[in-house]
């Protein structure tokens, strides 16, 4: 009887080890098992933690984007009811140094190769379906590694992971996620110094495009975000003499506090998408009162 029990324990350990092999983690973070809180505990607060469905970290060796299940995603049926809000769904890692696919220690026999399209002739995709590893390779070097749940775990979010090949196919550079600069409700004289640096960087490369996204606060003046964005754009165009076609001003909606984000996009990159965090119906709109004319007695 003791031998049978011992055999059962050994078998359980072997099965547990086998299940671990079927999934691949990044620094201990495992899609479908780790959470948003686990990411923050490991890496600290992200530079811009506002979006609930993602966190972006510009690390020394790589740019890393974490994607999570949020209320909107769960409401559309992307995942089953057992998946909790904040569950880690995928990790995108873009190395900052030249990295060869061989350094990832992937089993060549398990890799599925995705052919490049004519427009991306230098690109190739490598996919390990079982472990949930997707690798994008450009000119023999790793451009991006995406960690998704193991094949077994992906069934819990079948709609979200309907086609993993689409996840790894060439996508806009992650540079679009992190702003060149951002600041709050500062004086315009102070803002001009930030805009000067912004204009210099836009002008540095003739094909660069600048995007100004402004979020109004929970208490906001009428059309405040668009007005502030237009003011910044006018300064760059009229004072710094940047071609108007190369500077875009965007009303980003509302966040807790007024915030300005400055983006610089290289040619071919997808424009940044505004990510408001407060519903307009929860915003207090402040209407400026007309000033009372001064009387002779004032």
d(CA 206, CA 203): 6
What is the number of helices (H) and of strands (E) in the chain? 6, 13
CA separation (Å) from 215 to 36, 146, 182, 244? 24, 31, 11, 21
CATH code at 181-286: 3.30.1330.60
Predicted confidence (pLDDT) per residue in 264-296, tens digit:
888 767 788 898 999 999 999 988 655 555 545
- Pair of tokens at residue 278: 């407060």
Q: Which of 161, 168, 273, 256 is nearest to 213 (CA)?
A: 273
Q: Select the more confidently predicted residue: 222 or 14.
A: 222
Domain boundaries, the chain: 28-171, 181-286
> In this structure, are residues 182 and 48 in contact, taking their beta carbons and an 8 Å threshold?
yes
Please name which of 227, 232, 216 lies closest in space to residue 277, comparing C-alpha atoms.
216
Q: 232: helix, coil or strand?
A: helix
Comparing 190 with 109, the larger pLDDT belongs to: 190
User: Does the pLDDT at position 111 exceed 50?
Assistant: yes
Comparing C-alpha atoms, which of 208, 207, 228, 206 is closest to residue 217?
228
DSSP state at residue 162: S
Above 70 in pLDDT, residue 233?
Answer: yes
Number of Cβ atoms within 10 Å of the Cβ of 97: 9
The Cα 124–Cα 105 span in angstroms is 17
Instruction: Check residue 163 and give its pLDDT.
Output: 84
How far is 193 from 48, CA to CA, in rounded Å?
Answer: 22
Summarised one tens digit per residue, pLDDT across range 116-155 is: 665 556 788 899 988 899 998 988 899 899 999 998 899 9
Predicted local distance difference test score (pLDDT) of residue 10: 32
What does the alpha-carbon distance between residue 119 and residue 148 come to, in Å, rounded to a whole number?
26
Share of the chain above pLDDT 70, in %: 82
Residue predicted with more confidence, 21 or 250:
250
φ and ψ at 176, to 5 degrees?
A: -70, -20
Query: Which pair of structure tokens corresponds to residue 57?
Result: 């970290």
pLDDT value of position 142: 92
What average pLDDT does the structure give for the chain? 82
- Per DSSP bridges, beta strands 133-138 and 123-128 are antiparallel
């Amino acid at each position: 009887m003791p031998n049978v029990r011992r055999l059962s324990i050994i078998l359980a350990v072997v099965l547990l080890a086998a299940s671990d092999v079927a999934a691949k983690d990044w620094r201990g973070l495992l899609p479908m098992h780790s959470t948003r809180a686990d990411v923050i505990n490991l890496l600290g607060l992200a530079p811009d933690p506002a979006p609930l469905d993602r966190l972006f970290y510009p690390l020394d060796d790589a740019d890393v984007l974490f994607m999570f299940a949020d209320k909107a995603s769960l409401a559309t049926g992307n995942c089953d009811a057992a998946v909790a809000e904040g569950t880690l769904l995928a990790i995108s890692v873009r190395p900052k140094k030249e990295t060869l696919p061989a350094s990832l220690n992937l089993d060549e026999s398990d890799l599925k190769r995705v052919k490049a399209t004519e427009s991306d002739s230098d690109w190739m995709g490598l996919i390990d379906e079982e472990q949930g590893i997707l690798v994008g390779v450009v000119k023999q070097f790793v451009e991006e590694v995406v960690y998704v749940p193991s094949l077994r775990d992906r069934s819990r979010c079948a709609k979200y992971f309907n086609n993993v090949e689409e996840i790894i196919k060439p996508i806009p550079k992650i540079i679009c996620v992190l702003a060149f600069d951002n600041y709050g409700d500062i004086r315009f004289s102070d803002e001009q110094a930030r805009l000067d640096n912004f204009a210099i960087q836009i002008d540095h490369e003739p094909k660069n495009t600048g995007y100004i996204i402004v979020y109004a606060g929970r208490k906001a003046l009428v059309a405040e975000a668009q007005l502030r964005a237009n003011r910044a754009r006018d300064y760059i165009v009229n004072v710094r003499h940047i071609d108007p076609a190369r500077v875009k001003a965007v009303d980003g909606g509302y966040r807790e506090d007024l915030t300005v984000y400055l983006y610089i996009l290289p040619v071919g990159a997808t424009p940044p998408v505004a990510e408001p965090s407060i519903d307009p119906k929860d915003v207090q709109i402040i209407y400026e009162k007309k000033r009372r004319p001064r009387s002779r007695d004032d």
